Structure 1
Amino acid sequence: MTSTERRRIFDAHAHLAPGEGAADRLLRVMDSCGIDRAVVVAGGVVDPDLLSRQIIEGGAVDRDADNEAVRGACDTSGGRLVPFFFANPHRGGADYRAEGRRFAGLKLAPSVHGVPLGDPRHAELAAIAQEFGHGVYLHCVARPGFGVADLVELARAFPAVTFVLGHAGVGDMDLYGIDLIKPVPTILFETSGGYSAVVRAALDRLGPERVLLGTEYPLQHPGVELAKYRALNLTDREWHLVAWENTRRLTGETSR
């Protein structure tokens, strides 16, 4: 591995905000932080205030993400932006099946659409992801049907699919979530929003092969997540896996 390869950064999770110029703004922020590439999903399906309430109290929206805008932005980014399809489970998989092959993976948001992870509609989406060879990114919340244990059950039902537990699990100190996913090697752990101590625990308990650096841009500035990793003083091998290689594998790439 060369020193250049060790320094490369592939953000495992960013959002493309709605509106004109969003991709250019994202690329400028990436440049300012030394980020080479990013997995991108649509933003703006629900506003942050409503999402905050739904995470705590429950609720649901039946809204489609602007996946076409994401696809278009990625097509003109010179390979720097990699699109994931943000599926609406209320469509029963029809939207993803029709367009999903044009994307590099699948994004689910149970707390946005209000559909529990054990619902057959999520099983249908996972089955399509398996057919497409896609990884599946999602986040869990502390409500029955939406937790990390429910993700574990879904992942066990689809052992050929790589799942990503986003945002360092539930809350900012989900050490329990790390332990829940540990026996299921097909579940990776993306660290945006978590404490640095939780990231260190994930590296130690899961191994660096199962940990991904993500930023959650634009809700989180990438510099915050990068500072967290600098404080951890990772080895060259850990950094290469977490910041580059694991996300490259998630997106189905063999070399870049």
Structure 2
Amino acid sequence: MIIDIHVHYYKKWCGMVGLKITDLIAKMDKSGIDMSILNSLSALTEKDSSPGNKEIYNAVSLYPDRLVGMASVNPYHAQYAEEELKRCLSTYEFKGLKLHPWIQGYPAHSEIVHNLIDICKEYNVPILFHSGTPPYTQVVQIAYIAKKFPDVVFILGHMGLTYQWKEAIEVATMYQNIFLETSGITYSFAIKEAIKKLGTGRIVFGTDSPFLESAELEIMKIKNLKLSSDQWEMIM
């Protein structure tokens, strides 16, 4: 079974038109992906994040055996963001929170996310951070809040990208609540090093679709590691 934890779904965002939900399912079928966890880009950037999260809910409702929702909110609109996150986690039963400080424009360890993290702790769900892009999403910034909130799981999207993957592995060895996600890291040997240092229990698979066009390439990147069947199942 292959679970893709990092998929952006949107109808329109910044002038771009997204995939129809039927096209997304068709792409999953073509790539051999059994389940995708969706987050909304428009919910990250709009003051009113509810329409974007509603799109995710509607998509999940159509394909509940293939899709899972992950909330997105804009921390700059604090009270509204907190209410919307609670609604997504309770009413929609979403399974996590996606934050993208580089797009949203705040340091990842800023206090404006602390109340959101507390809510995630209350609902026992993880937070997926974009990571590896200075100045707002550096690995050390996310490690700072991982240390501050040890009972919350923080997933480093792209495991720090090309220039911060070593730091991503290092902080994951320091803090057991840090997980690494594989999309966008161009070096297979970086993932191999992460497995060597961490095992496979805290490494998760993602594609960053639709921005990284080929889910098949992301899957092949893992296949090329020649993992055991147990290791494959843990990551995928």
Q: TM-score scaled to structure 2, two decimals?
A: 0.87
Structure 2, unaligned runs of 5 or more: 13-17
1:11 equivalenced with 2:11 (yes/no): no
Q: Paired residue for 1:56?
A: none
Deviates further, 109-118 or 138-147: 138-147
Structure 2 residue 105 is the aligned partner of structure 1 residue 114: yes
Distance in 2 (CA, whole Å) between partners of 1:24 and 1:172 is 36
The percentage of aligned residue pairs carrying the same residue is 27
Indicate the SS of the match to 1:229: helix
Runs (5+) with no aligned partner, structure 1? 1-7, 47-60, 244-256
Letter of the 2:156 partner, please give it.
Answer: L
Q: 1:95 aligns with which of 84, 91, 106?
A: 84
Shift of 1:64: 4.7
Q: Distance in 2 between matches of 1:141 and 1:173?
A: 6
Residue number in structure 1 paired with 2:15: none
The answer to whether structure 1 residue 218 and structure 2 residue 210 are counterparts is yes
Contact 1:168–1:189 (CA under 8 A) maintained in structure 2: yes
Using the TM superposition, give the Cα deviation of residue 160 of structure 1 relative to its aligned residue in structure 2, in angstroms.
1.2
Given that residues 31 and 216 in structure 2 are in contact (C-alpha distance below 8 angstroms), is that contact kept between their aligned partners in structure 1?
A: yes
Pick one of 122, 134, 137 that aligns with 1:143: 134
Amino acid at match of 2:147: R
User: Which residue identity does 1:88 align to in structure 2?
Assistant: N
Residues 222-255 of structure 1: per-residue CA shift (max 9 Å, x gap): 1110111111111111100000xxxxxxxxxxxx
| Amino acid in structure 2 at the alignment position of 1:152 | A
Question: 2:39·2:71 contact (CA, 8 Å) conserved in 1?
Answer: yes
Contact kept in structure 2, 1:18 and 1:43, CA below 8 Å: no
Q: Quote the Cα distance in structure 1 between the aligned partners of 2:167 and 2:19.
A: 40
Is the 1:173–1:198 Cα contact (8 Å) retained in structure 2?
Answer: no
Partners of 1:172 and 1:212 in 2: CA distance: 19
> How do 1:117-196 and structure 2 match up within 5 A?
117-171=108-162, 174-194=165-185, 195-196=187-188
Which piece of structure 1 moves more, 175-184 or 83-92?
Answer: 175-184
Which SS does the other structure have where 2:22 is aligned?
helix
Contact kept in structure 2, 1:140 and 1:170, CA below 8 Å: yes
Cα contact 1:17–1:218 (8 A) shared by 2: no
Shift of 1:180: 2.2
Q: Indicate conservation of the 8 Å contact 1:136/1:164, yes or no.
A: yes
* Larger deviation, residues 90-99 vs 217-226: 90-99
Q: Which aligned pairs between 1:231-246 and structure 2 lie closer than 5 A?
A: 231-243=224-236
1:15 deviates by: 1.2
Match of 2:222 in 1: 229
By how many angstroms is 1:106 displaced? 0.7
Cα distance, 1:11–1:95 mapped onto 2, change above 3 Å: same
Moved over 4 A (4+): 61-65
Q: Aligned-pair distance for 1:80?
A: 0.8
What SS does the aligned partner of 2:161 have? coil
> How many residue pairs get matched?
222
